[in-house]
Amino acid sequence: MINKTLRSPLPTRRDFLKTAGAASMALTIGFEWAASGRRAVAAVAAPGAPFAPNAFLRIGSDNSVTVIAKHLEMGQGSYTGIATIVAEELDADWSKVTVESAPADAKRYANLVFGTIQGTGGSSAMANSWAQLRDAGAKARAVLLSAAAKDWHVPVAELTTDKGVVYHAAGKRQAAYGSLVKTAVTLPVPDTVVLKDPKNFKLIGGRPPRVDAAAKTDGTAQFTLDFVLPGMLVALLKRPPLFGATVKSFDPSAAGAVPGVVKVVQVPGGVAVVAKSFWAAKQGRDALKVEWDDSKAEKRSSAALMDEYRRLADQPASSARKQGDAKKAIGDAVRKVSATYEFPYLAHAPMEPLDAVVKLDANSCEIWAGDQFQTIDQLNAAHTAGLDPKQVSIHTLYAGGSFGRRANTISDYIVEAVSIAKAYGADGTPIKLQWTREDDIHGGLYRPMYFHKMEAGLTAQGELTGWHHVIVGQSIVAGTAFAGLVKDGIDGTSVEGAANIAYAIPNIAVDLSTTKTGVPVLWWRVVGSSHTTFAVEAFIDEAAHAAGVDGFTFRRKLLEHEPRMKAVLELAAEKAGWNSGPMPAGRGRGIAVAEAFKTFVAQVAEVSVDKDGNIKVDRVVCAVDCGTPINPDIITAQMEGGIGFGLGAVLYSAITLKDGRVEQGNFNNYRVLRMNEMPKVEVYIVPSTAPPTGVGEPGVAPIGPAVANAVFAATGKRIHMLPFPKTGAV
């Protein structure tokens, strides 16, 4: 019998982070956000003080509502989502709501999905804020109601609220929230509160506009690039050309002679040129002469590494899932299919090259950055500076994209900035470390390169009996602070989306061969599913073809016990007109479905392939089930963006190494999607009252295989190597 319990109980990345959090003793502090309101009562409120019943909001006597966001806003809409949840239960006037970023503080602002770490990732911002912020908003509203009841000498039960105003219909009285602040600050915050019935939601499920849209349209939104302090200097760091190389010696004279260069300093990551402006620092770095020690550097080429991976795929590996006897089932099968898939290293390439401002002196370290792992970065900054984490404060600014890059456990760019400030003299001079695009593309922490080998067996009736999936590649968490989370040789981030495939196949084996290279790697938007979903969904399509069944029907039959996955599959197929008949010559339709971070996404891609083999993705129909849709417009935007991001990667992007040197350097040779390549995207959201899950990453997962399957439908040719072959190859 196949049912849900047969799904591999593999821990997700969230579980890993949770465990990691528990292991990071320095970060483990009791979580007390619910109690903060009671402490506020004990404090004597200053005259004119805002009403701040908990760590997540503040109401001013001017009716302003300030929501404090513990998550980074990097484009995914977290600020708007967070504010929406608070404002909904508070019954706030959306036009009065603004958002400010929380300080680094694991005690108050931990990501509840991660455990005791403050950070953003794993598409978890809404999931972990939902209960917490509804409670915070509802308790604040309850106090405001009590304040009105007290001021008016009426029972709370006779009061209602709407858009930031308390009403007493019988007494024909009303009071804006701001006017109640004076009384509210004197009242206790209740321990428990009744939340709104979802059918009374006014903002959730609606389309409150993004809190950041206007400032991001008129140029006033402040990114780290734009952050300036008096007397601030700008640093560029010359890093070794090979991963693992170190400074042997350097000659600062030419760099030092550039007008505007203030100091040239050696740090663990290389040699930094500190100057009065970016341009001076850039010219100084160009002039800087450094001799590198390559003795411990990675000098292999990516092609050689892939050759090794191919060989490893036939060697014994660690088992990530074993159900039944896949080898025997495939051996006994009437029909067999097999395929391999190759995935390159990928850079995240956020539009804002990494940057951070650090002000360091003997007793304190202040950091301004688009910071994604606040309490990890705080810890690493403290360690680098030789300070206590309490002496490090982090101001989180808007991030110009991240896609995972800013969430790294070594805090690479933060540590670089702190180490430069330290080498400069730790004299309180603010220093901005600025990466260039070349620094970003050469900078490592890539999505790992992977090789996948798949075999499947089918009965004469076309039923899948055995499935064997071998994955070869580097571990994202090995060698990091999360290294202890590799269990029995399995890094869950390497096999998520593969070991837990939802398809009802009686015999499944998923094996992992973990490689080691000198190339630093990291999670990249949708993490493991950025490659596993491609392999699974392209290969299941090959199995469907072998069975003589269309890709939709074949999948649906295997998802009978997966209602949410099946529902998105059906919705996407229906909206795309899957059964509307064959497409004209040279065109094709492909489908793929995935679950990532507990969100379900199916996509149907329509492609045209011309006589020269040029692929054009014309249309993508996307269905998503992310639980309660908090903001359907942002969900839609994340699906659109995820599709564009994923599509650019599968069509064009690759980081390759030649003798250890990264061969790409900028957007000329690290190709990403452009306007003329963006398909028409339609998004359909499954209505749901389940707790909300994330949308920042899952939309990326199915687009590659959906397009590859569409290319097969158009041309009869399968794609086994990413990025897709260049012009003329299909």
Partner 1 sequence: MPTTFVLNGQSATLDADPAMPLLWALREVAGLHGTKFGCGMAMCGACTVHLDGQAVRSCVMPLSAVAGREVTTIEGLKSKQAKAVQAAWVELQVPQCGYCQSGQVMSATALLEKNNAPTDADIDGAMSGNICRCATYQRIRAAIHSAAQSIKA
77 binds partner 1 (CB under 8 A): yes
218 binds partner 1 (CB under 8 A): yes
Dig out the tokens for 193 from the structure: 């509160």
230 binds partner 1 (CB under 8 A): no
216 binds partner 1 (CB under 8 A): yes
82 binds partner 1 (CB under 8 A): no
How far, rounded to the nearest angstrom, does the alpha carbon of residue 451 sit from its chain's CA centroid?
23
Sole window of 155-163, 566-574, 666-674, 687-695 interacting with partner 1 (rule: CB under 8 A): 666-674
Q: In angstroms, what CA-CA distances link 344 with 304, 336, 369, 538, 665?
A: 12, 27, 29, 17, 16
Residue 676 Cβ, how far from partner 1 at the closest point, in Å? 4
- Tell me if 238 sits within 8 A of 245, measured CB to CB: no
Question: 352 vs 562, which CB is nearer to partner 1?
Answer: 352
Q: SS3 of 193, please?
A: coil
How far, rounded to the nearest angstrom, does the alpha carbon of residue 180 sit from its chain's CA centroid?
40
Near partner 1 by CB under 8 A: residue from 137, 466, 551, 644 = 644
Near partner 1 by CB under 8 A: residue from 119, 269, 401, 528 = 401
To which H or E segment does residue 98 belong? strand 97-101
Question: 434 vs 513, which CB is nearer to partner 1?
Answer: 434
399 binds partner 1 (CB under 8 A): yes
Q: Which of 383, 515, 403 is nearest to 448 (CA)?
A: 515
Sole window of 434-442, 528-536, 558-566, 607-615 interacting with partner 1 (rule: CB under 8 A): 434-442
Near partner 1 by CB under 8 A: residue from 5, 217, 580, 689 = 217
Sole window of 8-16, 39-47, 333-341, 351-359 interacting with partner 1 (rule: CB under 8 A): 351-359
Question: Under 8 Å CB-to-CB from 343, ≥6 apart: which residues?
Answer: 447, 449, 450, 451, 452, 473, 530, 531, 534, 722
398 binds partner 1 (CB under 8 A): yes
Q: In angstroms, what CA-CA distances link 688 with 4, 135, 199, 683?
A: 20, 21, 12, 15
Binding mask 278-307 for partner 1 (x = CB under 8 A): xx----------------------------
Question: 279 vs 311, which CB is nearer to partner 1?
Answer: 279
Question: What's the CA gap between 332 and 638, in Å, rounded?
Answer: 44
Q: What are phi and psi of 477, to 5 degrees?
A: -95, -20
Near partner 1 by CB under 8 A: residue from 9, 30, 47, 219 = 219
**Residue-wise DSSP of 348-416:** ---SS--EEEEEE-SS-EEEEE--SSHHHHHHHHHHHHT--GGGEEEEEPBPS--TTTT--TT-HHHHH
Q: Tokens 């938007």, residue?
A: 525
Question: What's the CA gap between 249 and 380, in Å, rounded?
Answer: 26
Question: Under 8 Å CB-to-CB from 219, ≥6 apart: which residues?
Answer: none
Near partner 1 by CB under 8 A: residue from 198, 259, 425, 548 = 259
| Interacting positions 436-495 with partner 1 (CB under 8 A) | 436-438
How far, rounded to the nearest angstrom, does the alpha carbon of residue 568 sit from its chain's CA centroid?
22
- Tell me if 144 sits within 8 A of 184, measured CB to CB: yes
Question: 525 vs 556, which CB is nearer to partner 1?
Answer: 525
Residue 86 Cβ, how far from partner 1 at the closest point, in Å? 20
Sole window of 73-81, 361-369, 486-494, 539-547 interacting with partner 1 (rule: CB under 8 A): 73-81
169 binds partner 1 (CB under 8 A): no
400 binds partner 1 (CB under 8 A): yes
Q: How many residues bind partner 1 (CB under 8 A)?
A: 63
Near partner 1 by CB under 8 A: residue from 43, 213, 304, 729 = 213
Residues at the site binding partner 1, with contacts judged by CB under 8 A: 74-77, 209-210, 212-223, 225-226, 228, 259, 277-279, 349-353, 398-403, 434, 436-438, 633-634, 637-638, 640-645, 647-648, 666-668, 672-676, 678, 680-681
